Amino acid sequence: MTESNLTLTIVIPLLNEEESLEPLHEKIRQVIDQHEYQVTIFFVDDGSTDNSYEVIQRLADKDPSVSALRFRRNFGKSAALEAAFREVASDVVITMDADLQDDPEEIPNLLAKLDEGFDLVSGWKRKRHDPITKTVPSKLFNWVTVRASGLDIHDFNCGLKAYRHDVVEELRVARGMHRYLPALAHWRGFRVGEIPVRHHPRIHGTTKFGAARLVNGFLDLLTVLLMTRYGGRPMHLFGWVGTFISMAGFAICGYIGFLRLVHGWIMNRYPLLFLGVLLILLGTQILATGLLADVIVSGRGHQSDFAIVDRLRVGSSSEPDAGTSTL
């Protein structure tokens, strides 16, 4: 793809970043003007309680390339990306955070990496300017995710990423899944690459990272494993586990039965007998759970969990929509 005919959407989810938006827009415009991209700058206001949306409206008045969605309340980064991905129709989508820590000058490097044959390119904050309370948990999180997902990249949660349109069209960003988009794309057969990117210290606002997000991230990883390896066949997971546990229970009960036949009594193996019966019951319940999961998966549908209260130049509309729209 050449710069002259490349259509590009830069998706920027945000929450209470009013001080960062104008300098971020200025930096993005510098890159756009230098490379002559056909670009849409797409802000998604995730229920900000400050003046972030007013700043975006001012930017849209001055720059026709600015579009925006505004959520009625805070639904999370995953919902913000999902809403944006449904709207875009460009060749490439770039995502970046609104806190000025991601550098817009990395956009040409991301696009160059895409041209090597990749479908998704993730940034790698090799040198991070974050407190140790973020960097250490992040390293642990990435180490576990690499081993669980089978995708060997360094930084799953970097906000700076480039996607071909096919990727964003096919992926669905369920709640909390934004951290695992490279893994989800990898499991769907897309080629995923990575490049080191510059990372800047936070100047304005406060971080949205907390201990609860780390715990939730690992819980979401379990969901990703179910969605990727066993998403269409949960019985294969529950079936193996349930069968193994049940067989262990049957083996114990068989041993108890052997003692009863040979010695006429079970030689005070009552705790072992109870364990065998418990394992049989537990294994049967797990198998039943797998069967129910298969039934649910076969009939499931995708449902939105966010509501949009306003929009600017989204899709085919060129005028602000004053009404409420729910996607």
> Mind listing the pLDDT tens digit for each residue in 152-186?
888 888 889 999 999 998 888 877 778 888 988 88
Would you give the distance in Å from CA 215 to the centre of its chain? 15
Residue 11's identity, in one-letter code, is V
pLDDT higher than threshold 70 for residue 151: yes
Mean pLDDT of all residues in 42-65 = 95
pLDDT higher than threshold 80 for residue 220: no
pLDDT higher than threshold 50 for residue 322: no
pLDDT higher than threshold 90 for residue 10: yes
DSSP 106: G
Question: Six-digit token pair at 5?
Answer: 């005919």
Mean pLDDT of all residues in 301-316 = 62
pLDDT of residue 19: 93
**Measuring CA to CA, which residue among 56, 20, 54 is closest to residue 41?**
56
pLDDT of residue 199: 82
pLDDT higher than threshold 80 for residue 123: yes
Tell me how far apart the alpha carbons of residues 169 and 171 are, in angstroms, rounded to a whole number.
6
What element of type H or E holds 138? helix 132-149
Mean pLDDT of all residues in 268-291 = 90
Tell me how far apart the alpha carbons of residues 42 and 63 are, in angstroms, rounded to a whole number.
12
pLDDT higher than threshold 80 for residue 235: no
Strand 192-196 relative to strand 120-124, pairing:
parallel
Question: Do the beta carbons of residue 104 and residue 210 sit within 8 Å?
Answer: no
What mean pLDDT, rounded, does the chain reach? Answer: 82
Tell me how far apart the alpha carbons of residues 18 and 52 are, in angstroms, rounded to a whole number.
4
pLDDT of residue 49: 93
pLDDT of residue 55: 96
DSSP 302: -
Three-state DSSP at 80 gives helix
CA angle 298, 245, 264 (to 5 degrees): 140
Residue 178's identity, in one-letter code, is H
pLDDT of residue 82: 93
Beta bridge partner(s), residue 69: 44, 311
Instruction: Read off the pLDDT band of 302 (50, 70, 90).
Output: very low
Q: Specify the higher pLDDT residue, 9 or 137.
A: 9
pLDDT of residue 327: 37
Question: Do the beta carbons of residue 162 and residue 114 sit within 8 Å?
Answer: yes
pLDDT higher than threshold 70 for residue 307: no
pLDDT of residue 177: 77
Beta bridge partner(s), residue 192: 120
Q: From edge to edge, which strands make up the β-sheet containing 92-95? A: 192-196, 120-124, 161-164, 92-95, 7-14, 38-45, 66-71, 308-312
